Structure 1
Amino acid sequence: MLKFENVSKVFNDGFKAVDSVSFDIPEGEFLVLIGPSGSGKSTTMKMINQMVPHTSGTISINGKNIMDLNASELRRNIGYVIQQIGLFPHYTIEKNIAIVPELKGWSKEEVSARVKELMTSVGLDPEVFSTRYPKELSGGQQQRVGVARALASNPEIILMDEPFGALDPITREQLQLELISLQRKLKKTIVFVTHDMDEALKLGDRIAIMKDGKLLQLDTPEKLLHEPSHGFVEEFIGKHRITQNPELMPVSAVMTEKVITAQADLSPSKALLMTRRHQITSLIIVDDQDAFVGLVSAYKLIKNMESIHSIEEIMEVSTTILPESATAKDAIVMMANAQLGIIPVLDTAQKVKGLVTRGTLLSALSSQWTELEEVNE
């Protein structure tokens, strides 16, 4: 999808901001660029849409050298979200989001439908916010508009330059989770710049760690944590991050992989037999493709045994779910609202990979703290 081959950037004063960097980004990947100030991460990202022209090497998108493309047209086909957001203050929210589709010649009907779709997807009711102006929105709401605007023309690539850096911690965490959810649905190719290692580990499919213009390591969060290839990488990530911080503990560490599933047309007597046989208190309901549908508790089965024909009649449709990329902290935050005290963990095909319960959370976290205390003694 996106390829860097020995790319360097040297400014007029002779400063080499990026030094012969090479990497590939496959379609649909969320890549995070991270490093200390002056590492070259933002320059690397800005070279993708020619906001900063590279000095040497080749950057290509779908096999086409970006230097052979018109810069304005290139930028219209790449979404761009920045920390300062950059909304036009004299335009309404609707008009801000519509800018690029209008420049690309979309019809009024297409633009209007797209704006409403995107506002809904980022949690802004079009009936309430369409005619408002940026100054009437909070920082978090403005950043949602920035994300919607970047998605407006349905670009293949989205660049995000520390988009949540200026937000308060609660709003920042909420938008991080919403971005994860959006990416699961849209599967865009995202290049995300941050200086926050916690944010990088939470969001990235892969993380590129840079220092002094060089790419030191590009790997999955798990591999970076367990197999740092450079002393600076280990130092930058920080030792014992997983055991010390639930926010960085993967959700897989606090879930059980014992998942007993059934289909919604199962009879209540057979369903109850399954719960007793497997010694569980709830059944996970899936469809014909094994995608998650809902939950049924053994208590409800017993209570409604004589009045229902299939378990679908008493099934609870859970809105509290987590992606495989979530963390233990995400599970802790969401547990209070979890139906039956269960949070299904789903893959991109909506199949259940595991279950987080209050019991698995307490067991895993108490084990982590015990290990940490033993290390400190």
Structure 2
Amino acid sequence: MLKFENVSKVYNNGFQAVKSVNLEILKGEFVVLIGPSGSGKTTTMKMINRLAPHTSGTIFVDGKDIRSLNLVELRRNIGYVIQQAGLFPHYTIEKNIAVVPKLKGWNASKVKQRVHELLKLVGLDPEVYANRYPKQLSGGQQQRVGVARALAADPDIILMDEPFGALDPITREQLQAELIKLQRKLKKTIVFVTHDMDEALKLGDRIAIMKDGELLQFDTPEKLLHEPAHGFVEEFIGKHRMIQNPELMPITDVLTDKTYTSHPERSPERALAYMRKHKINSLVIVDENEAFIGMISAYDLIAKIGKVSTIEEIVLSDHVYLREDATAKDAIATMPEASLGIIPVLDSEDKVLGLVTRGTLLTALSSQWVETEEKA
């Protein structure tokens, strides 16, 4: 799908932002570019749609040199999401999403159908939001529209430049979870730039770590943690971390520190206020005996406020779970089935002992930080 061969970027002042990068991104793969400020990660991403034309080397999209492609068509066929959405303030949400399809000559009926389809896909009711303006939406809602706009013409490739960086922690975690679900459904090729290692570990199928314009390592999260190929990679991820055998690790070593629960008779408004207070994006629903019933997300609550009177009406009662005698290996196998990216762990009486997320799984599989005796 995407291939870099000895790609470099040198600016007019002589500064070399990217130095002979070689990497290949597979179709349908979620790749994260990460590194410190000035590492060349954003420039590398922008070279894909020629927002930052490369100086030397070759970039291929579906086997074609991007320099041989019409620039306008190249950009129209690649979705692009930036921080704070970048929506046109004087356009309605519908017009913002419709920009590229209209430029590609779609008829009005097809454009409207696509806009409404995408708003539903990102969790926004088109009857409510299509005719609003960006200033009438929250930051999280604007980012959802930004993702919808990037998907409007059904591109195979999506570029995302720190799209969640300016959002509050709850909204950010919520959109990360929604992006994972969206990617599982659509299987787009995504190149995602971030400076947050936790975000990279949560989202990426593979992660490219860059420093001073060089690509130091391009691997899965597990491989990066287990076999860092460079001293900087080891420092950047966490010095002296070491993957343990998941078959031997009890599931109880992989749990979150605290679990937030609710009874099903709670109203969506009260449940959402509770979640915002504790800065969480999901709730475990339990009965009067504290036995597990199911899960609910902040996204579902927001979507259903005013439509249901209690959260019992929208709880995910068929949500996957594990028992306390499971292992970390079981959690790894089960995680793809967890719609919210969360697995409750239950005891013999169905009471919730804790939750497993991809982040807690990777953290628990790694040894804790080891303090060095000498300080720089």
TM-score (ref. length: structure 1): 0.70
**Number of the residue aligned with 1:31:** 31
**Number of the residue aligned with 1:44:** 44
**Number of the residue aligned with 1:203:** 203
CA distance in 2 between counterparts of 1:46 and 1:374 reads 37
**Number of the residue aligned with 2:177:** 177
CA distance in 2 between counterparts of 1:206 and 1:252 reads 27
How far off is 1:199 after superposition? 0.3
Pair 1:143 & 2:143 matched: yes
How far off is 1:31 after superposition? 0.3
Matches for 1:1-377 after TM superposition, within 5 Å: 1-239=1-239, 254=254, 339=317, 342-343=320-321, 356-359=344-347, 362=354
CA distance in 1 between counterparts of 2:158 and 2:72 reads 15
How far off is 1:348 after superposition? 6.3
CA distance in 1 between counterparts of 2:240 and 2:221 reads 14
Would the aligned equivalents of 2:17 and 2:40 in 1 still touch at CA under 8 Å?
A: yes
How far off is 1:346 after superposition? 5.2
CA distance in 2 between counterparts of 1:118 and 1:10 reads 38
How far off is 1:83 after superposition? 0.5
* CA offset digits 1:93-129 (Å, max 9, x no partner): 0110010001101111111111111101111110100
Would the aligned equivalents of 2:101 and 2:152 in 1 still touch at CA under 8 Å?
A: yes
SS in 2 for 1:50: coil
* CA offset digits 1:260-315 (Å, max 9, x no partner): xxxxxxxxxxxxxxxxxxxxxxxxxxxxxxxxxxxxxxxxxxxxxxxxxxxxxxxx
Would the aligned equivalents of 2:83 and 2:165 in 1 still touch at CA under 8 Å?
A: yes
Aligned residue identity for 2:54 = H
Structure 1 residues 50, 110: CA separation in 2 closer, same or farther (over 3 Å shift)? Answer: same
How far off is 1:319 after superposition? 7.0
Would the aligned equivalents of 2:32 and 2:208 in 1 still touch at CA under 8 Å?
A: yes
CA distance in 2 between counterparts of 1:361 and 1:8 reads 51
Question: Which deviates further from its counterpart, 103-112 or 194-203?
Answer: 103-112
Aligned residue identity for 1:343 = Y
CA distance in 2 between counterparts of 1:36 and 1:75 reads 27
How far off is 1:241 after superposition? 6.7
CA distance in 2 between counterparts of 1:91 and 1:104 reads 18
Aligned residue identity for 1:4 = F
How far off is 1:320 after superposition? 6.6
**Number of the residue aligned with 1:302:** none
How far off is 1:338 after superposition? 6.2
User: Between Structure 1 and Structure 2, whose CA radius of gyration is higher?
Assistant: 1
How far off is 1:197 after superposition? 0.5
CA distance in 2 between counterparts of 1:27 and 1:66 reads 17
Structure 1 residues 368, 93: CA separation in 2 closer, same or farther (over 3 Å shift)? Answer: closer
Aligned residue identity for 1:201 = L
How far off is 1:355 after superposition? 6.7
Aligned residue identity for 1:9 = K
Would the aligned equivalents of 1:29 and 1:205 in 2 still touch at CA under 8 Å?
A: yes
SS in 2 for 1:39: coil
CA distance in 2 between counterparts of 1:137 and 1:6 reads 43
Structure 1 residues 90, 180: CA separation in 2 closer, same or farther (over 3 Å shift)? Answer: same
**Number of the residue aligned with 1:277:** none
Structure 1 residues 186, 348: CA separation in 2 closer, same or farther (over 3 Å shift)? Answer: farther
Aligned residue identity for 1:24 = E
CA distance in 1 between counterparts of 2:179 and 2:192 reads 11
How far off is 1:84 after superposition? 3.1
CA distance in 1 between counterparts of 2:124 and 2:370 reads 48
CA distance in 2 between counterparts of 1:104 and 1:220 reads 36
- The number of equivalent residue pairs is 290
SS in 2 for 1:202: helix
Would the aligned equivalents of 1:156 and 1:188 in 2 still touch at CA under 8 Å?
A: yes
Aligned residue identity for 2:223 = K
CA distance in 1 between counterparts of 2:53 and 2:3 reads 15
SS in 2 for 1:217: strand
Would the aligned equivalents of 2:321 and 2:346 in 1 still touch at CA under 8 Å?
A: no
How far off is 1:343 after superposition? 3.0
Structure 1 residues 239, 361: CA separation in 2 closer, same or farther (over 3 Å shift)? Answer: farther
CA distance in 2 between counterparts of 1:350 and 1:44 reads 33
**Number of the residue aligned with 2:246:** none
CA distance in 2 between counterparts of 1:375 and 1:339 reads 44
Q: Which runs of 5+ in 2 are unaligned?
A: 244-248, 256-292, 298-314, 323-332
